[in-house]
Amino acid sequence: MGERLTCIGIESTAHTFGIGIVKYHPFQILCDVRRVYRPVSGGIHPSEAARHHIEKAVEALEEAMSRVDLKQVDIVAFARGPGLGPCLRVGAALARMLSLKLEKPLVGVNHAASHINIARALTRAIDPVVLYVSGGNTQVIYASEGKYVILGETEDIAVGNLIDVFARKAGLGFPGGPKVMELASKSRRLLKLPYSVKGMNVSFSGMLTMLEGLVGKEPVEDLCFSLQETAFSMLIEVSERAMAMLGVKEFIIAGGVGANARLRQMAGKMCEERNAVFKDYPIEYYADNGVMIAWEGIIQYMLGEKLNVEDSMVKPRWRIVDVKPPPSGLYEN
């Protein structure tokens, strides 16, 4: 592991087209360029988002090249999945082109593992329970020796999806997270919503149905507050159960919903009460970005992963359990 590696990473799984460049060792972010697609109406339209990425790819690459000389790059990584097929293919095409042009190895990485590992790199968490919460995922994960283990997950929709669908129904636009957080801070009135925890699994569809029915009948601030308090309490309860079961003393959150201040506050409190540590990091790295793809590219390259361009098709349904976690010891120095 003595060599110094520089990786360019391309993220394009959903709403964000991102290019990040990371150097290791030591871990250093050299550049972080993002272009975010905002739908005019409704949620994400895959083909529209893909068109956005195509339109922004060149200027994003030019911006990255104005910061870092690509001659420094040793590895080209892209988010291979999971994600929206048309969006994934934009990032994959750019990565293949760069890999051929720069004559550097191509590495396809898993978006979920990338969220987790950027959190670990920024916090130096060595043995954490991870709550992965985003628009498409809600999982409690532990990276044990050699594999990721999913300890709990949603039985229906992701928490980010609950927030986004509710927000759309309430006319708050997409993505709903930041707006819901802002409105929630203006209320202290807790409405009773379905609290659904089964072991280490959660379920949000009942809560969504009820919230949708209350739009226009109750003040939107109270709905946002109640959604956050109820959904986040469920998530913190299952995370705490996982930590207790494993005897783990570190907790991190990964994925876009982690940008929520109230969720992170609850996480801090839970850890304090059980003599554990919630490891937080700058909120811009909770959301999708190219830096996390570049870092995961370095990890997977060190683990021996490499793709031939002709075998590099995207994997829209790639599960994290089929991915190797970083070698133990990586975050200890």
Q: What separation in angstroms does the CA of 262 have from each of 162, 177, 224, 239, 269?
A: 16, 11, 12, 16, 11
Beta strand 250-254 with 147-153 is unpaired
Candidate list 11, 250, 288, 305; residue touching Fe ion; CB under 5 A: 288
- Does residue 91 bind ligand ATP (CB under 6 A)? no
CB of 54 to ligand ATP, least distance (A): 18
Candidate list 178, 194, 219, 268; residue touching ligand ATP; CB under 6 A: 178
- Does residue 111 bind ligand ATP (CB under 6 A)? yes
- Does residue 11 bind Fe ion (CB under 5 A)? no
The count of residues interacting with ligand ATP (CB under 6 A) is 25
Q: Is omega for the bond preceding 52 within 30 degrees of 0, making it cis? A: no
Instruction: Return the residues of window 278-307 that contact ligand ATP according to CB under 6 A.
Output: 287-288
Decide which of Fe ion, ligand ATP, none touches 85; Cβ closer than 5 to 8 Å per partner kind.
none
CB of 288 to Fe ion, least distance (A): 4
Candidate list 6, 13, 203, 226; residue touching ligand ATP; CB under 6 A: 13
Structure tokens belonging to residue 227: 């959604």
Element (H, E) at 140: strand 138-144
Provide the 10 A C-beta neighbour count for residue 117: 25
- In this structure, which amino acid lies at residue 262? R
Structure tokens belonging to residue 95: 């990565």
- Does residue 138 bind ligand ATP (CB under 6 A)? no
Candidate list 6, 134, 138, 228; residue touching Fe ion; CB under 5 A: 134
CA-to-CA distance for 116 and 252, rounded, in angstroms?
A: 8
Element (H, E) at 19: strand 16-24
- For the sheet containing 75-81, what is the strand order? 28-36, 16-24, 5-11, 75-81, 106-110
Q: Which is nearer to ligand ATP, 181 or 307 (CB)?
A: 181
* Interface stretch with ligand ATP, choices 176-184, 231-239, 294-302, 320-328 (CB under 6 A): 176-184
Radius of gyration, alpha carbons of the chain: 20
CA-to-CA distance for 82 and 189, rounded, in angstroms?
A: 38
Q: Which is nearer to ligand ATP, 73 or 235 (CB)?
A: 235
CB of 285 to Fe ion, least distance (A): 11
CA-to-CA distance for 237 and 234, rounded, in angstroms?
A: 5
Q: What separation in angstroms does the CA of 232 have from each of 133, 138, 160, 180, 286?
A: 10, 11, 11, 13, 16
- Does residue 6 bind Fe ion (CB under 5 A)? no
Q: Which is nearer to Fe ion, 134 or 139 (CB)?
A: 134
Instruction: Return the residues of window 211-270 that contact ligand ATP according to CB under 6 A.
Output: 255-257, 259-260
Instruction: Return the residues of window 165-224 that contact Fe ion according to CB under 5 A.
Output: none
Give the binding site for ligand ATP (CB under 6 A): 13-15, 83, 111, 115, 134-137, 160, 163-164, 175-178, 181, 255-257, 259-260, 287-288
